[in-house]
Amino acid sequence: MEYRKLGKTGLDVSVIAMGCEAFVEDNSNAMKFFDMAEKAGVNYFDLFTSDPAARTAVGEALEGRREKFIIQSHISSIWKNGQYERSRNLEEVKEAFEDSLERLGTDYIDVGMIHYCDAESDWQAIIDNGILDYARELKAQGRIHHIGLSSHNPKVAVRAITEGDIEVLMFSINYVYDMLPGTEDVNDLWADEVYEGGFKNMDPERQRLYELCEDKGVGITVMKAFAGGDILDEKLSPAGAALTPIQCISYALSRPAVATVCSGARNEEQFAQSIGYCDASDEEKAYAEAFAAFPRVSWSGHCMYCTHCHPCPAEISIADVTKFLNLVVAHNESNGIAEGSEVFRVPDTEREHYKVLARHAGDCLQCGLCETRCPFDVPIRENMKRAERIFGY
């Protein structure tokens, strides 16, 4: 298993995380899934459900091994009239949180994820109804260690992150969503007319969100990496061709700030397939050529950090250099500062990340080999010159 830092939380999380779909459908699956996860080194799991029976089953599966797992459990996911609901009623939210601790048999949750906020008015309700304050209180008491937010809408996520409390973002990431503007109702993303005319380049707001998360040290945990399965199926995929599950995971993991992809597996076979990402070859993980060949997708001039242009004869990690270049430019642009301006500056985080790279843009030989391999016509030589100018080496 491969592990990554979950942003500034400092937690080392497995790149494949476990969702809870399988044990919501059948509680008896929980023990089997936790056994599989432990054996494979999967140490992170998401528990969005408020179903008391599923929570109890997870508590039983965790018995004697609580410390081996990092729990991402949802605040505001409640159980009412025998079914799951999202609530912004503080008393209901408090009661559901207490229930989660009791049923899971633990006295703390690692990441208390404020559940499912896709509308700006809803984020405001989270603030106005005291739910954000409640999360802060839980954190101060050590009953949650970090505050998270789950969302499908980049606009809301950007606002919440900019306001400062959110340390972990659970966000829906797959290449189809990435090319569509955010919406307050995620179901809009499934409307047929959305896909008319195909797709062109990444939605700038989503790009900005990922860059903001990386800049602020907010770790992203990914949901919906397979878009509910549609992008695995040539007939259903809006792009007109399919990716494999490994390629979908690889795509999500190559977005800035992403630490882990939650497998929404419904059975052991699907979970094993996700875990198999770690043993997959570089060829199996590579998605750029498949992506570039999609009949209804065009992605041009903008780096998607796919590493397809590697290896470089000067041993530059082109994807990393380009990512740090884009992060610095985005950071300045968000403050209204254009590249080339006298007040343009490199933030300390990016300066440090760039420094530890083995080779830098200044090592570029301008040979152009990388550009012959990039399926997206990224002007890599020019980017290397820009990065050298900005970072100084």
Residue 156 half-sphere exposure, CB side, CA atoms within 13 Å? 28
Among 17, 384, 387, 390, binds ligand SF4 (CB under 6 A): 384
Decide whether 181 or 375 has the Cβ nearer to ligand SF4: 375
Q: Interface with ligand SF4 includes 376 (CB under 6 A)?
A: yes
Beta carbon of residue 324, minimum distance to ligand SF4 (angstroms, whole number): 13
Decide whether 69 or 305 has the Cβ nearer to ligand SF4: 305
Q: Interface with ligand SF4 includes 374 (CB under 6 A)?
A: yes
- Closest Cα partner for 166 from 129, 206, 199, 212? 212
Decide whether 13 or 309 has the Cβ nearer to ligand SF4: 309
> Cα separation of 207 and 176, whole Å?
13
**Residue 169: left if φ>0, alpha if ψ -120 to 50, beta else—which one?**
beta
Among 109, 113, 158, 378, binds ligand SF4 (CB under 6 A): 378
> Cα separation of 212 and 157, whole Å?
10
Q: Interface with ligand SF4 includes 326 (CB under 6 A)?
A: no
> Cα separation of 127 and 345, whole Å?
33
> Cα separation of 207 and 135, whole Å?
28
Beta carbon of residue 42, minimum distance to ligand SF4 (angstroms, whole number): 28
**Residue 346: exposure state from Cβ atoms within 10 A (0-12, 13-18, ≥19):** middle
Among 2, 68, 365, 393, binds ligand SF4 (CB under 6 A): 365
The strand pair at 219-223 and 168-172 is best described as: parallel
Interface with ligand SF4 (CB under 6 A), residue total: 28
Decide whether 185 or 315 has the Cβ nearer to ligand SF4: 315
Residues 76-95 touching ligand SF4, rule: CB under 6 A, are none
Residues 142-181 touching ligand SF4, rule: CB under 6 A, are none
Per-residue x/- marks for ligand SF4, 195-224, CB under 6 A? ------------------------------
Residue 70 half-sphere exposure, CB side, CA atoms within 13 Å? 25
Decide whether 136 or 385 has the Cβ nearer to ligand SF4: 385
Among 367, 382, 392, 393, binds ligand SF4 (CB under 6 A): 367
Per-residue x/- marks for ligand SF4, 279-318, CB under 6 A? ---------x--------------xxxxxxx--xxx-x-x
Q: Interface with ligand SF4 includes 69 (CB under 6 A)?
A: no
> Cα separation of 213 and 169, whole Å?
8
Please provide the size of the chain in residues.
393
Q: Interface with ligand SF4 includes 366 (CB under 6 A)?
A: yes
Beta carbon of residue 85, minimum distance to ligand SF4 (angstroms, whole number): 42
Decide whether 113 or 370 has the Cβ nearer to ligand SF4: 370
Decide whether 233 or 289 has the Cβ nearer to ligand SF4: 289
> Cα separation of 160 and 148, whole Å?
10
Per-residue x/- marks for ligand SF4, 230-269, CB under 6 A? ----------------------------------------
> Cα separation of 181 and 89, whole Å?
30
Among 370, 386, 387, 390, binds ligand SF4 (CB under 6 A): 370
Binding segment toward ligand SF4, per CB under 6 A, in 84-92, 158-166, 261-269, 360-368: 360-368
Beta-strand (E) ranges in the chain? 3-5, 12-14, 16-18, 44-47, 70-75, 77-80, 83-86, 109-114, 144-151, 168-172, 199-200, 219-223, 258-263, 297-298
> Cα separation of 87 and 99, whole Å?
15
Decide whether 126 or 321 has the Cβ nearer to ligand SF4: 321
The CA-based angle 182-183-188, given to 5 degrees, is: 120
Binding site for ligand SF4 (CB under 6 A): 288, 303-309, 312-314, 316, 318-319, 322, 364-370, 374, 376, 378, 380-381, 384
